[in-house]
Structure 1
Amino acid sequence: MTAPPSLPDNSRYERACDQAIAMCDGNLRSTIKALIMANEYLETEIEELQAAITARGAPGVTQAASDAA
């Protein structure tokens, strides 16, 4: 029986972990810290993009289309 296609390939995550650890010279605490910082940065980017979309409206949606909804 094969795994459902929706499950991720764990080897991809294993390689990513190995790369992250190697970039931090094998220091696991530094690796975790770097990943947390990267995650916070991406969360901030998402919040800024969501605010920009809200302020301008969704791209490609005309006023007539949103009035009809």
Structure 2
Amino acid sequence: MSDASSPSDSSRYEQACDQAIAMCDGNLRSTIKALIMANEYLENELMELQAAVACGCAPAELSASDAA
């Protein structure tokens, strides 16, 4: 990660952290666990999509209208 993040990025991340902690009733351990689980889910989704693209089951590129 870059050390030169803008102040708006910093406040956005602070707000996202506050929201994640609030969603876990202030329990930091639960918050970290939930974020790890969400990251693993997204990693699995990415691997499945990459495999689908590699075998030709999904388009390699989406047009702007397809992504919306």
Instruction: Determine if the TM-score, normalized by the shorter chain, exceeds 0.5.
Output: yes
In structure 2, the CA distance between the partners of 1:58 and 1:10, relative to structure 1 (3 Å rule), is same
Point out where structure 1 has 5 or more consecutive residues left out of the alignment.
Answer: 1-5, 61-69
Distance 2:5 2:34 in 1: 26
4+ long deviations beyond 2 Å? 57-60
CA RMSD, 1 decimal: 1.8
- TM-score when normalising by structure 1: 0.72
- TM-score when normalising by structure 2: 0.73
Point out where structure 2 has 5 or more consecutive residues left out of the alignment.
Answer: 63-68
Greater Rg over alpha carbons, structure? 1
Aligned ranges for residues 20-59 of structure 1 at < 5 Å? 20-56=20-56, 58-59=60-61
* Pairwise CA distance, 1:59: 4.4
